[in-house]
Copies of this chain bind each other. A is one copy, B any other.
């Protein structure tokens, strides 16, 4: 079960990253990773403090019924949402969920974060959209995330009156989207306090997004 162990270690490290970047308070927020080639994913246990989170405390869960396959804890109460996303979006390898303050402020007013910065065009390819309000615990949150992100360039969605869900090719990529979503949410909120930030032209957005997806980083 060495693959499980590696994924668990990485997830523990990524939860520390959420704490370090100020995206989570107390035990809110969670990250999960799909086990490649299996109908399983690994997720944070429910209500465990970040200081006590270890690789060993992570829970391996069945994709179809959120049954615990391995682990001594109950999974995050958001597990049903993560499972729904993995079932409906086969290209997704990681999911992150936070109540990061600025992004959740945009979610509270139900307004997308407009694409007014090159960094937003680079990372999200346009505005960061708002998903519907849904009660936590069942399929509704996951269905809202999938419906909003399907066909969107954005890997982040602001779930109305709730918080942020992000997807990625792996768990680290989902956490990256969560960090940069909060950064965008904060900068644009600060800009709105100063005046009216101008939206980028669509052709600039397209050119920036294309360059960033194809040129940026190490090949």
Give the interface of A toward B (CB within 8 A).
21, 25-26, 28, 45-48, 73-74, 77, 99, 101-102, 104-106, 108-111, 116-119, 122, 133, 135-137, 161-163, 176, 179-180, 182-183, 186-198, 200, 204, 207-208, 211-212, 215-219
Enumerate chain B residues within 8 angstroms of A211, measured Cβ to Cβ: 77, 135-137
- Taking the full assembly, how many copies of this chain does it contain? 4
Separation of A109 and B200 alpha carbons in the complex (Å): 12
B161 adjacent to A117 (CB under 8 Å) = yes
Enumerate chain B residues within 8 angstroms of A74, measured Cβ to Cβ: 217-219
B109 adjacent to A191 (CB under 8 Å) = yes
Separation of A99 and B190 alpha carbons in the complex (Å): 13
A190 adjacent to B102 (CB under 8 Å) = yes
Known contacts: A26-B179, A179-B25, A187-B104. The answer to whether A135 contacts B204 by CB under 8 A is yes
Name the contact of A207 in the complex, choosing from B73, B122, B135, B187 (C-beta under 8 A).
B135
Name the contact of A200 in the complex, choosing from B110, B161, B193 (C-beta under 8 A).
B161
Closest to A160 in B: B198
User: Which 6 pairs, one residue from A and one from B, show the smallest C-beta to C-beta distance?
Assistant: A47-B217, A105-B190, A108-B197, A109-B195, A108-B191, A105-B191
The minimal Cβ–Cβ distance linking A120 to chain B, given in whole angstroms, is 9
Name the contact of A218 in the complex, choosing from B73, B118, B176 (C-beta under 8 A).
B73
Known contacts: A119-B163, A176-B26. The answer to whether A218 contacts B105 by CB under 8 A is no
Separation of A74 and B214 alpha carbons in the complex (Å): 13
B183 adjacent to A99 (CB under 8 Å) = yes
